[in-house]
Amino acid sequence: MEPANDDDHRPNGSDHNHLPKRPKLSTSSLITDSQIREEFGHHQKGIARINNGSFGSCPASIIAAQKRWQLRFLKQPDDFFLNHLRKCILHSRTIIKDVINAEHVEEVSLVDNATTAAAIVLQHVGWAFAEGRFQKGDAVVMLHCAFQAVKKSIEAYVTRAGGSVIVVHLPFPLRSEREIVAEFRKALAKGKANGKKVRLAIIDHITSMPCVVIPVRDLVKICREEGVDQVFVDAAHAIGNVHVDVKEIGADFYVSNLHKWFFCPPSVAFLYCRKSPVSPDLHHPVVSHEYGNGLAIESAWIGTRDYSSQLVIPEVLEFINRFEGGIEGIRMRNHNAVIEMGQMLTNAWGTKLGCPPDMSPSMTMVGLPASLKILSDKDALNLRNRLRDQFGVEVPIHYQEIKELQDGDACVTGYARISHQVYNTVDDYIKLKDAILQLVRDGVTCKMLHPE
């Protein structure tokens, strides 16, 4: 089954395409609203599911395709393993290579998730410290809102081997990318103090909580200018959510989950490793009999397991191309819709978005009424639980400690991170709006939500 790719609708003034052209679909071939509802009919009824960012969403046709792959393996495992598995995974890797504009398919590995990719990269850096290629006290730079699993991998592989960690504290709410760039430059300067070197910079493409699109190309360019050895972009939310061109971004390592915004079943991600002299030193943390044959081959066999989530990528691309504009059309419509819904909520609640629309992907941070008195992470979790249990709304809540008041942001310490995916409707966001307004009318504060 040969994949079909849509035209590449590129933002940021770029004028070249990297996805293979395909004939434009006729209007009658495009997916309809009723077909979209059928594809996601397995979602629990009565729940306003506006948290695609956490676990993504897999269409029914892809779930069926996954089952076919599973049965194909189970019918004759020996034949499938010996004669088909590797070339089928290579087909999936080739599709991703084209989607992200990698130079070589050897640069693309398929792994379980972004957490696995972080372990691969940070294990590599940890060995460099342990073997004396990096000096004790040399630094790894990361954003303060890096994903917790990345922080734990740094702890497990880097700090115990003698590396130091420099944390970039980003302000929030954000008003411009300049604030991010300024704080990042400060962190690099700190890492280079006293003759030390910054060996690795870890940059989120889209931070998870709070959710902000980071000017990743600008930060990578700064890293090159400042002599940072390697750059790892943690883009767990990126593919299907923002445009991804690994050549333009220019990082050494780039990972994105395919089950969040690319409609794959859990769990599968790609790890791009730019071809370089260090490539042979990258290894999967699960050592199997392919060890030493290159990361992509190692990752394609880590023992007997279910590889079907990696094998359905051709069918996923076919599903995506049923939408007008393909992957770019989906993400642009999702972005426009989430900003429209976010502004509807801020108008109703008398608050603001946490960052400008052009710094939001298909998710955005919406300020919550100060009267809810969200004063801790525990308060945020309790409010989230109340929205789910009482109102049937699934949405993450972020607590933001106030350090410096800005005009119009006084006392706003809580934000709802809303997502928009193709299955969402306006009613989902109205349900959230009305739930918050009811809590405010009832005089509810987060202190009242604490379980006994």
Which amino acid, residue 113?
Answer: N
pLDDT attached to residue 27: 56
CB 290 within 8 A of CB 297: yes
CA 80 and chain centroid, separation: 32
User: Is the pTM higher than 0.85?
Assistant: yes
CA of 244: how far to CAs of 97, 235, 276, 320, 431, in Å?
Answer: 11, 9, 20, 16, 33
The vertex-262 CA angle with 327 and 352, nearest 5°, equals 80
* Rounded distance between C-alpha atoms, residue 399 and residue 256, angstroms: 26
pLDDT attached to residue 276: 86
pLDDT attached to residue 324: 96
CA of 65: how far to CAs of 51, 264, 311, in Å?
Answer: 24, 11, 9
Residues in the chain: 452
Specify which residues 232 forms β-bridges with. 202, 253
| β-strand pairing of 198-204 with 139-143 | parallel
10-residue stretch averages of pLDDT, the chain, 452 residues long: 37 40 59 96 96 96 98 96 95 97 96 94 92 91 86 89 91 93 93 87 95 96 95 95 96 96 96 90 92 93 94 97 96 98 97 96 97 94 96 97 58 95 98 97 90 62
Residue from 438, 369, 378, 358 nearest 409 by CA:
369
pLDDT attached to residue 278: 83
Helix (H) or strand (E) holding 271: strand 269-273
* Rounded distance between C-alpha atoms, residue 202 and residue 117, angstroms: 12
From the DSSP assignment, how many helices (H) and strands (E) are in the chain? 16, 12
* Rounded distance between C-alpha atoms, residue 383 and residue 191, angstroms: 39
The vertex-46 CA angle with 40 and 52, nearest 5°, equals 50
Q: Which residues contact 237 (CB under 8 A, 6 or more apart)?
A: 53, 205, 206, 208, 211, 256, 257, 260, 261, 361, 363
3-state secondary structure of 19: coil
pLDDT attached to residue 403: 64
Residue from 209, 272, 279, 200 nearest 237 by CA:
209
Going through 70-119 in order, the beta strands assigned E by DSSP cover 108-111
pLDDT attached to residue 263: 98
